[in-house]
Structure 1
């Protein structure tokens, strides 16, 4: 098992927490998507699946049975399949293939080709990525660096969240698709110490960290003692869309 495969399997270890803590996506993002027949890759517990069902019929392919079970309840109109997309074969051609904060977990050598095979001619691939950027309670994110450097040896020294405008657009170059279009959405969300720790424990690098209990306990204390029990986190959501190129 590769490191990528090991880490992507961690999200189903606490499906209830994942559903409770993970943020959704900006509503205006879904207004940019179109297609009667939609394939979603890596829906998790259905944060993007539910709004996608407003477009048409949705088939969602999820690796974790526990995450998939919640997605079926959260987005009951979607058809949720438990499978590894790297091995799964679609049963037809889709108008739209969407992956929300999951595309980077797919096999980089095959993911573009597999998405192209799932699309009809002229269909669209939409890749949604989420980034943590400068903003919100900025001093907190400077202060918390000390805790990461103490409890996570892989933390870069002096790390700071990047400005949103410096985050590069992301989509693999591929002969299977026309040049992509990109959109950015910046937004913020408030957290208490409890809800922020809950969120952190849905990230694979925190789940697998041997000293995660010490780290998140320190972060919770920092929020409660220096920030009145509440912080604001700024997000950047990027949407990359590319139309399937015509066959030669």
Structure 2
């Protein structure tokens, strides 16, 4: 599944929202100073890379899908792109910030925390941030949920605090904290249907189920007046590797 997003890399890059600058500000405030070196895991097409580069440090982007990696190189030539998985990646030097945006769930659950911990410099920070896409209007939200559940009753839905729970349960990070940020972007019908095509539950469907999903959502968006307002919740979780920085 980690490679299916490359099938829609350009759509992903066009319609997926980026991350608010408050994420960057919170990382600096937490660390006490800008990082000296950054590694981004599962960088995709660079939705978070742009924000992380504004921290002003050399950045290495780890991305396993060659189609996403090619797009990433074209957009951010100043970044070093390593076309590999987190599990296979070995840093030349330990970074003092490892970041992961909406990709932590693709890392091996049994090893991801310890792997990041081992690759960080002493005193370094882990920053995981991700969006949750909700619909602002409750009636519209219920209608969309009913449609999607009818098409696929087995779509997983993680608890909003699952990353905080995961990082805390690892028992190795100190000073674990969680922040929340909210935005309300308006999506027209075609843009919302394109956004739906970038989500993994949609991508794993058969062609027939994909068509049913898009047709059903398109009809609902027509009923909603051709657009929808999202409640975009961005969560940031930070943890620190004990030890004095070099």
Deviations 1:25-65 (A, max 9, x none): 11111112231200000111001101211221100000101
The CA deviation at 1:231 is 0.5
Q: Deviations over 1:164-191 (max 9, x none)?
A: xx83362322343213011111111111
Taking only aligned residues, the RMSD between alpha carbons, in angstroms, comes to 2.0
Give the Cα–Cα distance (whole angstroms) in 2 for the partners of residues 61 and 180 of structure 1: 24
Match of 2:190?
A: 194
Structure 1 counterpart of 2:175: 179
How far off is 1:101 after superposition? 0.4
Q: Deviations over 1:103-134 (max 9, x none)?
A: 1110011111111122111000001122234x
Question: Corresponding residue for 1:153?
Answer: 153
CA distance, structure 1, for counterparts of residue 94 and residue 149 of structure 2 = 48
Deviation track 1:150-175 (CA, whole Å, cap 9, x = no partner) reads 3223259xxxx99xxx8336232234
Matched, 1:241 2:234: no
Normalised by the length of structure 2, the TM-score is 0.88
2:202: which partner in 1?
A: 206
The 3-state SS of whatever aligns with 1:87 is: coil
The separation in 2 between residues aligned to 1:48 and 1:153, in whole angstroms, is: 31
Shift of 1:209: 1.3
SS at match of 1:8: coil
SS in structure 2 opposite 1:126? strand
1-structure distance, mates of 2:193, 2:19: 20
**1:136-151 aligned within 5 A:** 136-151=136-151
Question: Contact between 1:193 and 1:221, CA under 8 Å: does it hold in 2?
Answer: no
Gaps of 5+ in 2: 28-33
Say whether the 8 Å CA contact 1:169–1:238 is kept in structure 2.
no
For the residues of structure 1 that align with 2:236 and 2:149, how far apart are their CA atoms? 32
Deviating 4+ runs (over 4 angstroms) = none
The alignment's TM-score, normalised by the length of structure 1, stands at 0.87
Bigger drift between 137-146 and 96-105 goes to 137-146
1:88 match: secondary structure: coil
Equivalent of 1:221 in 212, 219, 224 = 219
**Alpha-carbon distance between aligned partners in 2 of 1:236 and 1:40, rounded to the nearest angstrom:** 21
Q: Secondary structure at the match of 2:109?
A: coil
For structure 1, the 5+ residue unaligned runs are 1-6
1:63 aligns with 2:64: yes
Deviation, structure 1 residue 236: 1.1
- Give the Cα–Cα distance (whole angstroms) in 1 for the partners of residues 220 and 170 of structure 2: 45
Q: Does 1:110 align with 2:103?
A: no
